[in-house]
Structure 1
Amino acid sequence: MCVAAAILTVLDLSKVNVGLPSIEHSLDADAAALQLIVAAYALAYGLALVPAGRLGDIHSRKLMFVIGLAAFTATSIFCALASDAQMLVLARVLQGFAGGLLPPQVLGIIQHQFQGTERGKALGIFGAMTGIATAAGPALGGLLVEVGTPTDGWRLLFWMNVPVGAVAILLALRLLPRSDRLQRLPVSLDITGITLLAISTLALMLPLVQTTGASSDNPWRWMWLGLAAIAGVAFVLWERHYKSAGRSPAVDLELFRSTGFRNGLLVATSYLAVLPAVFLLAMLYLQDGLGLTALWAGIVAVPFAASATVTAWVSGRLVAAYGRAVVVFGLCVVGVGFVSSIVAVSFLPTDTIPWGLGATLFISGIGSGLVIAPNLTLTLSDVPINQAGVAGSVTQVGQRIGNAVGVALATSIYFAILHDARSSDREQRYDDAFVGALMVAIAGLCTALCVAIVDLRQRRGDPQE
């Protein structure tokens, strides 16, 4: 139940993209406002994760989960009722903060309630649902927009959250355990550490979510990266000082001494930079290049979700038996699917390309189900229970940063190739743009694969693994 509720927040990272044309027409929103409607949610979501995990570890994960779910439901109503673009941007900021409260509590509850193989299965379900929601979001969003009116169909994207959230709140109050931690931590929220981390995360993500690849992009936005570096260094120094004084920091840097946690975080960040970018590229290509409707473009992603569901379902047992090798194999299968997508776009007749992409995404889904969930299980396997919430938050922050980096790079390459193409053939220009941007995604996938292989060798060489 709590996993399904948390997945609502992931869906809102992807399904709203499909409704942007409807929002533009309904609210007379310009390109900058549309970009903020997407970016505001992602930024607020990422900023809320670590303090939310810390609060759950200090107090009650059940309480924080219910508060977050209630706030997410209420702010979804605010989004659905927005009368102009500015109000919708504000509502998305609030919705993002509310959504960021949920995932850390889910991961903390799973870490506490399950042990051994059962924990792997539970984390597997959560990780699998995260990947599936990323893939299924466009299809669900397209369906909801099509069901509604041409001008107000986008409001259904937010109204959908209300009945689901209300039911989830009732179930959470009834079913979640009263005590979901092994021990009460000293009440210490480390406001300074949380603030420095928030500044660093915001300054890192802000220029990335503003990148479109158009010549009108303001190059001065990259100055934010300097602030991100300064705040990041200050955060590390402060956390060390805070812990040396005998207090409990926002993020215990000892987490990163664990090779499994560190490598798993790198794999997750690299892979989650790739996956959302590929689906965004596919939606752009299918709608703008091939002329498909939002609904039919979203349906092309359904085979990925279907195959990922099946392999993710069995991944908990596989990772218990074979460990990191499952992730390495899964990444290789995803790579086969991506390369096959390039072949399909390059050589298939235009009218059969959507079918070809559906087939290649099916292959990638098989591999993805063996990546996200097993990697999450391995990443959190050595984390102390009283650090479960904040450790889960750190993994989620890494994924959101990876998402921003991947989408920024992929869309920049896509639009740059599209704008600079000299071919008079419109279809060829879109084909070239999609293939070129997908090559960037494949490079990111190779990064994740290299880290996974290194981790596999380290685990085999460690007698404790």
Structure 2
Amino acid sequence: MNADAPPPASAVDNRRRWRALSVGLVAAFMTLLDVSIVNVALPSMDRALGASPSDLQWVLSGYALTFGLVLVSAGRFGDMRGRRTAFVLGIAVFTLASALAGVADSPEWLIAARLFQGAAAGVVNPQVNGMIQELFRGPERARPFGLLGATIGISTAVGPLLGGLLIAVGGDEHGWRWVFFVNVPVGIVAVVLGWRLIPDRPAGPRDDRRLDPVGVLLLGVGVLLVLLPLVQEQTWRGPAKWLLVPAGLLVLACFGAWERWYARRQDPLFDLRLFGFRSYALGSLIALVYFGGFTAIFFIFTLYLQNGLGYSALVAGLAITPFALGSAAASALGGRIVNRYGRPLVATGLLAVVIGLVAVVVVLDRAPSGAPVPWLTAAPLLVAGLGSGLVIAPNQTLTLSEVPVRQAGSGAGMLQTGQRIGSAAGIAAVGSLFFSSVASSGGDYSLAFRHSLLLAAGVIALALVAALVDVTLGRRHADPA
């Protein structure tokens, strides 16, 4: 056999799709990292720019708000016009917005840059899910979805650590700017490689579907009304803000009615018939509820360690590392075995997360005064991280398993929209309990953290119930009787 002979076409195609996926995973990591990395930089931004508490809240939550607003429409655009165009455009805007955030000289400038950052991230992420649906088929999707799940889990957990490192290196005055500048070289490389490696559009006839502007408007307004009071829960005082939630749900109901009507004439923005698949309906519910508890953990843990115990941003980030390591290891495994074990694997992971979080509460409750909290919580957080790795990636694989490739982007976008709403609701509820407990206990951060962590564990237990329902229904359908 000639050693210089070119590899078979199938081998070339296989290498190309994995290279394309690698670019997508790097971009997903970068955009999701910016959800959590800013947490530890807020005190530095406050001192450097003279930002008010409301400004800082918008720096943190404005990103999540615009992220969630564009996911479904961006996914639909990728379905129609090809992943490469949407991906490269999203990364280019994200890179530019990161550079603008890094040179901000006022809170208003920084907030505007963060809003553009979030919108660009919302354009990028559905393309990565859609890319997996298009480039891989059937059971072979498990591994790439496993890698994507690991990316989601690690980026969320490692954000505070990387932020702490950058602030330690760059100094308290300018270190927060490097939290944004670090995206610039990575983004430039991702734009170049994305244009070269990501396929322009799937093979076959041109997709002549329309974007459904009325559906885009109704979904955007509905998600905005639901998310706004959640992400501004600590800034907007008084109960009137909560009236926006039922108003948003009413608009989303109008969106559903419009999509059913529109589907009889054209392909809708989002095909509601996807919820007719049990895997998609229950998987989306599990993702929404799990992210409600999962994301809030890092928010309150960082506050507890820095504001309550006086640890540095770097130590606070290191304390979360066991969770990130456990999540990375289990995600790689979960992606390989999800096709064998199915939803019971997700239920097992959820149970491990609940056990790990409850163990953190028990350990802290029995710890002597002055004990090193990062060391005490390392083992239970590792257990929770291992469980999380068996949740995010396998659940994503199972949820999108029956979604047609033609609807991969919009289906993944709706799944991620649920995750963003769950994250915002979880941070609002768990964070509210944390702050109210601190106030009512006279500044006892340890007590507040234990109470709010139990609430987060309870939210995740609800996701476990949904997973068990899916397991039970699956066994009934599998029973020939």
> Is the pair's TM-score, using the shorter chain for normalization, greater than 0.5?
yes
Partner in structure 1 of residue 364 of structure 2: 345
CA distance in 1, matches of 2:203, 2:385: 35
Question: Offset of 1:411 from its aligned partner?
Answer: 0.7
Give percent identity, aligned residues only.
Answer: 41
Question: Offset of 1:368 from its aligned partner?
Answer: 0.7
Matched, 1:74 2:96: yes
Question: Offset of 1:317 from its aligned partner?
Answer: 1.9
Contact 1:117–1:317 under 8 Å retained in 2: no
Give the 5 Å matches for 1:211-290: 211-212=233-234, 217-244=237-264, 246-290=265-309
Contact 1:112–1:182 under 8 Å retained in 2: no
SS of the residue corresponding to residue 211 of structure 2 reads coil
RMSD between aligned alpha carbons? 1.5
Contact 1:264–1:375 under 8 Å retained in 2: yes
Residue identity matched to 1:450? V
CA distance in 2, matches of 1:369, 1:253: 29
Question: Bigger shift: 308-317 or 410-419?
Answer: 308-317
Matched, 1:312 2:312: no
CA distance in 2, matches of 1:181, 1:96: 31
Q: 1:431 to 1:239 in 2, by over 3 A?
A: same
Matched, 1:31 2:53: yes
Give the 5 Å matches for 1:13-28: 13-28=35-50
Matched, 1:163 2:185: yes
SS of the residue corresponding to residue 462 of structure 1 reads helix
Consecutive unaligned residues of structure 1, counting only runs of 5 or more, are: none
SS of the residue corresponding to residue 88 of structure 1 reads helix
Question: Offset of 1:359 from its aligned partner?
Answer: 1.9
Contact 1:300–1:355 under 8 Å retained in 2: yes
Contact 1:182–1:386 under 8 Å retained in 2: no
SS of the residue corresponding to residue 28 of structure 2 reads helix
Question: Offset of 1:116 from its aligned partner?
Answer: 2.5
Residue identity matched to 2:379? A
Question: Offset of 1:240 from its aligned partner?
Answer: 1.1
Contact 1:303–1:365 under 8 Å retained in 2: yes
Question: Offset of 1:218 from its aligned partner?
Answer: 3.0
Question: Bigger shift: 224-233 or 280-289?
Answer: 224-233
Question: Bigger shift: 344-353 or 99-108?
Answer: 344-353
Partner in structure 1 of residue 416 of structure 2: 396
Residue identity matched to 2:120? A
Matched, 1:5 2:24: no
SS of the residue corresponding to residue 292 of structure 1 reads coil
TM-score, normalised to structure 2, is 0.93
Matched, 1:421 2:441: yes
Question: Offset of 1:35 from its aligned partner?
Answer: 0.4
Partner in structure 1 of residue 464 of structure 2: 449
Partner in structure 2 of residue 382 of structure 1: 402
SS of the residue corresponding to residue 100 of structure 1 reads helix
Contact 1:62–1:180 under 8 Å retained in 2: no
Contact 1:109–1:180 under 8 Å retained in 2: no
Contact 1:315–1:370 under 8 Å retained in 2: yes
TM-score, normalised to structure 1, is 0.96
Partner in structure 1 of residue 3 of structure 2: none
Aligned mate of 1:107, from 107, 110, 129: 129
Question: Offset of 1:149 from its aligned partner?
Answer: 2.3
Partner in structure 2 of residue 362 of structure 1: 382
CA distance in 2, matches of 1:264, 1:340: 27
SS of the residue corresponding to residue 162 of structure 2 reads helix
SS of the residue corresponding to residue 179 of structure 1 reads coil
Residue identity matched to 1:33? D
Question: Offset of 1:319 from its aligned partner?
Answer: 0.6
Matched, 1:176 2:198: yes
CA distance in 2, matches of 1:114, 1:121: 10
Residue identity matched to 1:433? A
Partner in structure 1 of residue 342 of structure 2: 323
Question: Offset of 1:230 from its aligned partner?
Answer: 2.0
Matched, 1:91 2:113: yes
Partner in structure 2 of residue 188 of structure 1: 210
Q: 1:287 to 1:182 in 2, by over 3 A?
A: farther
Contact 1:20–1:34 under 8 Å retained in 2: yes
Question: Offset of 1:182 from its aligned partner?
Answer: 5.4
Contact 1:194–1:250 under 8 Å retained in 2: yes
SS of the residue corresponding to residue 351 of structure 1 reads coil
CA distance in 2, matches of 1:447, 1:393: 23
CA distance in 2, matches of 1:323, 1:411: 33
Aligned residues: 457
Q: 1:433 to 1:36 in 2, by over 3 A?
A: same
Partner in structure 2 of residue 460 of structure 1: 475
Aligned mate of 1:295, from 297, 309, 314: 314
Contact 1:41–1:96 under 8 Å retained in 2: yes
Aligned mate of 2:446, from 428, 431, 438: 431
Partner in structure 1 of residue 170 of structure 2: 148
Consecutive unaligned residues of structure 2, counting only runs of 5 or more, are: 1-22
Q: Deviations over 1:292-336 (max 9, x none)?
A: 001100100111111111111111221111111110111111111
Question: Offset of 1:183 from its aligned partner?
Answer: 5.0
Contact 1:186–1:248 under 8 Å retained in 2: no
Q: 1:448 to 1:183 in 2, by over 3 A?
A: farther
